[in-house]
Amino acid sequence: EAQVTQNPRYLITVTGKKLTVTCSQNMNHEYMSWYRQDPGLGLRQIYYSMNVEVTDKGDVPEGYKVSRKEKRNFPLILESPSPNQTSLYFCASTPVGEDEQFFGPGTRLTVL
């Protein structure tokens, strides 16, 4: 089944404890992206990647890192999480030349 998977789906952590949210897609898509969704603010892009080893900042990159060592994986790293990073996170992918983005199921993160 073609899909985007994220892990974990739910995470409660404490300020300053490094964490990684994994994202994987099995559709051989070149473009991958991370968004966060907050009440009243809609979805905002954090980082994106056009292909392996090519990443760039979105609208709200502060406090986040990403890597793209393999085409299928695009992990989101929070080196020192803070409470303002409590949010619902979505990973998405799309093939180059196409418009539709396929979203993962979301990761609900709470930072205490």
Partner 1 sequence: RKEVEQDPGPFNVPEGATVAFNCTYSNSASQSFFWYRQDCRKEPKLLMSVYSSGNEDGRFTAQLNRASQYISLLIRDSKLSDSATYLCVVRDSGYALNFGKGTSLLVTP
Residues lying near partner 1 in the complex (CB under 8 A) are found at: 31, 33, 35, 40-45, 48, 50, 58-59, 88, 90, 94, 96, 99-101, 103-106, 108
Cβ nearer to partner 1, comparing 43 with 52:
43
CB of 63 to partner 1, least distance (A): 18
- For residues 19 and 83, the answer to whether their CB atoms sit within 8 Å is no
CB of 45 to partner 1, least distance (A): 5
The closest alpha carbon to 2, from 99, 107, 65, 95, belongs to: 95
Query: Number of helices and strands (H, E) in the chain?
Result: 0, 11
Cβ nearer to partner 1, comparing 38 with 79:
38
- For residues 47 and 71, the answer to whether their CB atoms sit within 8 Å is no
CB of 43 to partner 1, least distance (A): 4
- For residues 32 and 49, the answer to whether their CB atoms sit within 8 Å is yes
Cβ nearer to partner 1, comparing 24 with 33:
33
